[in-house]
Structure 1
Amino acid sequence: MKIKMEMIYKAPTGTETCFYSDEMNPEKALLLAKDLEKTGRVKELIFYDNYDTTWMYKELKKYVESVDSEPHNVVVFFDGGFDLETKRSGLGCVIYYEQDGKQYRIRKNALVEELNTNGEAEYASLYFAIGELELLGVHHLPVTFTGDSQGVMNQLKDEWPCYEEELLRWIERIEKKLEQLGITPDYKLVPRKKNREADHLATQAINGIEIASNSELT
């Protein structure tokens, strides 16, 4: 969940104005709100999430405390690779998340031999990543899915049509799984160099190198 703050500021002269913040995670919003309150010049402070739901300070604090022990602030990088000669596909995903005040990273890949195109491998890698989210216990949260395929990302966002039946079936599987988990996806297109980790994992899978790690980030 992302939060924006609306603050009504009252100067010593009695002049009032309203300020709006950029989007941020709830934890950061609470820290800033606490600091702003110390000025003694905040007449009113309201929080809005990305669904336009209004939160008061105590409500948002209670929410943050309830989710802190579960994986949250989840960002997924995914990529698929396909070797035309061997018909082998590599699926790679990197998952960043927070839990109990700490940051973690999962790196996982898989070798698949029943796919026929690179496009299928891209969608299969996303579905693979969603499966990892399910194992992690991520549910009823917004999740950012990051990839470097313009076609895949635009089709997932319904900005480009998809005419290939096999790819349409993958899209249906993905949407059904996300709905089951209550995950609201935010698809973000990035240049290939910013998706290097997932791309490397996919290549390693094609070459028979299996990777599975979950580590705390310092």
Structure 2
Amino acid sequence: MNVRMELTYKTPKGIEAEFSSNEMNIEEALLIAEDVQKTGRAKHLTFIDENARSWTIKELKKFAEGIQTEPYHVSVYFDGGFNRETRKSGLGCAVYYEQNGKTYRVRKNALVDELESNNEAEYAALDLALKELERLGVHHLPVRVIGDSQVVIHQLNGEWPCYEESLSRWADRIESRMEKLGITPDYQSVSRKENREADQLASQALKGTDIMSTIDI
């Protein structure tokens, strides 16, 4: 979760001015707030989150302590492949996150046979990743969503229209799942080379190799 700070600053001569910061992560915001408070000149210091909710410094500290035991700083890589001959799809995803001061990586793939195109496979791979986020207990956080499918990234970003009914259903499913989890997605389009890990997982699924692993890195 990102927040911005709002405060009133009062000089020794009694001149007051109101300030609002740029958005930043909770850890940075608390560090700056504590530094500002040391001056003794900050008044009415509050934090505003992405949902326009207001937090006091005490409330935000308590929240920050709580999320240390839950996944945070989450990034998701996804990729899907469709084999026209076998009509099967390989789905792959890699989830990176921090928890209890450690960094973890989850790798997951799946072989499915109910899809009709490569674009559907890409959407299904992202859906697979979101199921993993739900399993991990990720909720009410910003999440980097990274893929090499420009169709999926730009359609979910609202930059491209979604005319195909099948893809529209997938987009609705993805957005509904994210809303349920309280996830704020940051969609990022990358090259296939930069998405190599998810691509390999999808290819392995098409070859019949099942993968499900979690490691700390």
Shared fold (TM-score, shorter chain, > 0.5)? yes
2:181 is aligned to 182
Contact 2:87–2:113 at 8 Å: present in 1 too?
A: yes
How do 1:37-52 residues align onto structure 2 when only pairs under 5 Å count? 37-52=37-52
Aligned sequence identity (%): 55
How do 1:23-172 residues align onto structure 2 when only pairs under 5 Å count? 23-172=23-172
Contact 2:146–2:187 at 8 Å: present in 1 too?
A: yes
* Alignment-mate amino acid for residue 189 of structure 1: Q
What is the CA distance between 1:58 and its match in structure 2? 0.6
The separation in 2 between residues aligned to 1:205 and 1:38, in whole angstroms, is 56
Contact 2:146–2:190 at 8 Å: present in 1 too?
A: no
The separation in 1 between residues aligned to 2:175 and 2:213, in whole angstroms, is 26
Contact 1:156–1:187 at 8 Å: present in 2 too?
A: no
Contact 2:139–2:183 at 8 Å: present in 1 too?
A: no
Please give the root-mean-square deviation of Cα atoms over the aligned residues, in Å. Answer: 2.5
The separation in 2 between residues aligned to 1:70 and 1:185, in whole angstroms, is 17
Secondary structure class of the residue paired with 1:194: helix
Contact 2:153–2:189 at 8 Å: present in 1 too?
A: no
The separation in 2 between residues aligned to 1:187 and 1:148, in whole angstroms, is 14
Unaligned ranges ≥5, structure 1: none
* Alignment-mate amino acid for residue 150 of structure 1: Q
What is the CA distance between 1:41 and its match in structure 2? 4.3
Secondary structure class of the residue paired with 2:24: coil
The separation in 1 between residues aligned to 2:117 and 2:129, in whole angstroms, is 19
The separation in 2 between residues aligned to 1:152 and 1:187, in whole angstroms, is 13
The separation in 2 between residues aligned to 1:40 and 1:122, in whole angstroms, is 53
The separation in 1 between residues aligned to 2:201 and 2:19, in whole angstroms, is 44
- Would you say how many aligned residue pairs link Structure 1 and Structure 2? 216
Contact 2:80–2:199 at 8 Å: present in 1 too?
A: yes
Contact 1:153–1:187 at 8 Å: present in 2 too?
A: no
What is the CA distance between 1:120 and its match in structure 2? 0.7
What is the CA distance between 1:13 and its match in structure 2? 6.2
The separation in 1 between residues aligned to 2:58 and 2:212, in whole angstroms, is 39
User: Which shifted more, 137-146 or 120-129?
Assistant: 137-146
The separation in 2 between residues aligned to 1:5 and 1:102, in whole angstroms, is 28
Change in 2 beyond 3 A, CA 1:54/1:185:
closer
1:204 is aligned to 204
Secondary structure class of the residue paired with 1:110: strand
What is the CA distance between 1:16 and its match in structure 2? 5.0
Secondary structure class of the residue paired with 1:209: coil
* Alignment-mate amino acid for residue 216 of structure 2: E
* Alignment-mate amino acid for residue 191 of structure 1: V
